[in-house]
Amino acid sequence: MRPLSDPESDPASHTDAGAPGAPRHPVRSLMSLATLTGGLTELALVGAHALIYPLGTRTEQLRPDPRCRPGEQPPAVRALFAADPLAARVPVVLVHGLIDNHSIFAVMRRSLRRRGFTSVCSWNYSPLLADVARGAADLGEHLQRVCEQTGHERVHVVGHSLGGLIARYHVQRQGGDRHVESLVTLGTPHQGSVLAHLLPTPLVRQLRPGSPVLRELTEPAPGIRTPVTAIYSDLDQVVLPTSAGRCDHPDLQARNVLVRGIGHMSLPFHRNVLDEVAATLAGHRRPRTHAPARAAVA
C-alpha cells in the first residue's frame, strides 16, 4: 500500500482506547494541519457527491468483471491475493448510509475492481426505511440473491455509516454470519451518536446512544463467525463522540481501525481507507482474539 504524504492519516489498529492510536485531544486535533486539510477535503467531497447523487438512485445489477481472469492480473493484484487466490472471487456488497445511495461508493467500487475483486455491487435500501431490523432483514434477502447469482455461499459486506449498523444487526441478530464472510464498517455509529437527538424520526431515534436497538446489539452473541473491522475517524462530524465508531463487543471478532483527519463522507473515497478495505477483504487483516492487541500502523 502506498502511504500518504501525511503520515498522521495512516490507519492504526487497536482495541485499547488508551493506546497510542486513540483519538487525540479535541482542541489539539482541531488545530492540526491534518484536520484542516481533512475538513476542506470533506467540504469538496460533499459538493461532488451532491452532483453524482442522482446517478445512484437506480438499483445496481451484479455484473462480474470480465477483465478479472486468473493469470491476467497485474503483479500488485496477484500479490494481494497470493495467500488465497480464491478470495478475489468472493462477492462484495456495499451498503450506503442514511439519506444516501450507492453513488457514495463510486470510487470504492472501481477501486476494488481494479484491485482484482471480480464481483462488486451496491445495495440501495428504501429512503423511507424506519427500522434497523427491517433494513437488516431486507439486506439478508439481497445477500441471498447475490449468493444464488454467483454460486458463492458467502459474501463480503462493506457498510458506510448506517449501512454498517444494518449489516452488523443482520450478522449478529438475524443469523447473517452464515453467509457474511467478513464485515467492514466505515464511520458507523456502533455506540450511537449524540447528533441523533436533533432529528426525532423513528429511524434516527434508533441511533441515539442507549436506544433499544443499540442495547440489543450489546447482548451476548456467542458463536458469531463473521469478523468485524470497524474503521472510524477522529474527524467524523456525524458520529459523536468519534469513539462511538468503535465496535466493542466481547463475543465478536472485532478489530477497530482509527484513521486521522478524514471526514465522515470522505471515508469511502480516501486512499488509505480503500487500501485498508481491500487488504481486509483479501484476508491480510485479521482480528486478534483471546489476546490484547497493541496499536500498530496498518
Residue 78 lies in a domain: no
Residue 244 CA: distances (Å) to CA of 181, 185, 222:
24, 12, 22
Q: Is the pLDDT of residue 3 over 50?
A: no
Whether 203 contacts 129, CB under 8 Å: yes
Please state which of the ranges 5-19, 74-88, 106-120, 240-254 shows the lowest mean pLDDT.
5-19
What pLDDT was estimated at residue 100? 87
Q: Count CB-CB contacts under 10 A for residue 110.
A: 12
Beta-sheet pairing, 254-259 with 12-14: antiparallel
Looking at per-residue pLDDT, the higher value among 189 and 76 belongs to: 189
In this structure, is residue 72 part of a structural domain? no
Lowest mean pLDDT among 153-157, 170-174, 285-289: 285-289
In a domain, 149, yes or no: yes
Residue 31 counted as domain residue: yes
Q: Is residue 268 part of a domain?
A: yes
Rounded to whole angstroms, what are the CA distances from 211 to 87, 163, 164, 173, 296?
A: 37, 17, 17, 16, 33
H/E stretch holding 159 reads strand 155-160
Let me know: does 32 contact 8? Beta carbons within 8 Å.
yes
β 12-14/92-95 pair status: unpaired
150 confidence band (pLDDT: 50, 70, 90) = very high
Listed residue (155, 159, 163) closest to 120, CA to CA: 155
What integer is the mean pLDDT of 282-292?
Answer: 67
- pLDDT at residue 13 in the model: 47
- pLDDT grade for 104, boundaries at 50, 70 and 90: very high
Q: How many domains does the chain have?
A: 1
Residue-wise pLDDT for 157-185, tens only, equals 999 999 999 999 999 999 999 999 999 99
> 3-state SS of 105-141?
HHHHHHHHHHCCCCCEEEECCCCCCCCHHHHHHHHHH
Close Cβ partners of 2 (under 8 Å, ≥ 6 residues apart)? 271, 275
Asked if residue 167 is part of any domain, the answer here is yes
Assign 138 a pLDDT band (cuts: 50, 70, 90).
very high
206: pLDDT strictly greater than 70 = yes
Task: Assign 187 a pLDDT band (cuts: 50, 70, 90).
Answer: very high
pLDDT in tens, 224-266: 999 999 999 999 999 999 999 999 999 999 999 999 999 999 9
**Residue 48 resides in a domain:** yes
Residue 30 lies in a domain: yes
Longest alpha-carbon distance in the chain: 53
CATH number at residue 131: 3.40.50.1820
pLDDT single digits (tens) 17-56 = 344 445 555 555 555 666 666 666 767 666 666 656 566 5
Identify the pLDDT of residue 5. 30
- Domain region containing 290: 7-11+26-53+91-297
What pTM, to 2 d.p., does this model score?
A: 0.81
| Mean pLDDT of all residues belonging to the chain | 83
